[in-house]
Chain A
Amino acid sequence: EAGVVQSPRYKIIEKKQPVAFWCNPISGHNTLYWYRQNLGQGPELLIRYENEEAVDDSQLPKDRFSAERLKGVDSTLKIQPAELGDSAVYLCASSSAGSGTDTQYFGPGTRLTVL
């Protein structure tokens, strides 16, 4: 079984530029999560999807971040415009159901560097 796939793995951009990350969850997993992991910290939830619905986006900085999961499978996270403080690893995870007690499987992440 393929795991969670993310691309790109690395991205370097200048501040004020836009950037997008893509995630393909494990087949059959209805719940998809986007996390941000700063250096030396644990993952912090940005947004959680149940199928195509964003059920928790309370931690998403909506002035510059947006996300979509149009068909309830793949998802895209966008930052526009990027700021220096956005440098981090962006992790996507998926689980079979939305209960907080279901195991989350993480993708390899996208390491974003904003110059």
Chain B
Amino acid sequence: GENVEQHPSTLSVQEGDSAVIKCTYSDSASNYFPWYKQELGKRPQLIIDIRSNVGEKKDQRIAVTLNKTAKHFSLHITETQPEDSAVYFCAASSGDDKIIFGKGTRLHILP
């Protein structure tokens, strides 16, 4: 089955700097890669997703890149703001339509 690895587990960046979170997956049949943001005590919310026919997708300060050959994808947040502090989860949809989540990255935006 699919296995998703996410790094780093914790990330601290200065406000205004960029943050990058990386994930790898194992199932070459995976074709959908969503990213969720979860604030403390709240539900995971989709912030951006990418499908296997696209290499990069951008939405304002957030971008995701996908390298299918290497089986890795990354989340990039530019011009970080205090409200970006949260736990971010990557996920991959395997060939059997099951979504497997990474273990999460706790992002701290430092003032």
B-contacting residues of A (Cβ < 8 Å)? 4, 40-45, 48, 56, 91, 98-101, 103-109
Instruction: Considering the complex, give the chain A residue whose CB is closest to the CB of B2.
Output: A100
Instruction: Considering the complex, give the chain B residue whose CB is closest to the CB of A56.
Output: B98
Residues in B with CB closer than 8 Å to A105 are: 46
Main secondary structure of the interface of B (DSSP, over half): strand
We find that the number of chain B residues with CB closer than 8 angstroms to chain A is 25
Instruction: Considering the complex, give the chain B residue whose CB is closest to the CB of A35.
Output: B101
Is B19 an interface residue, CB under 8 A from the partner? no
Additional A-B contacts beyond A42-B103, A48-B98, A103-B49 (6; CB < 8 A): A40-B104, A100-B94, A101-B31, A103-B34, A103-B46, A108-B43
CB distance from B34 to the nearest CB of A (A): 7
Instruction: Considering the complex, give the chain A residue whose CB is closest to the CB of B32.
Output: A101
- Check A41 against B103 for contact (C-beta < 8 Å): yes
* Smallest CB-CB A-B distances: 3 pairs: A42-B101, A100-B93, A100-B97
Instruction: Considering the complex, give the chain B residue whose CB is closest to the CB of A58.
Output: B98
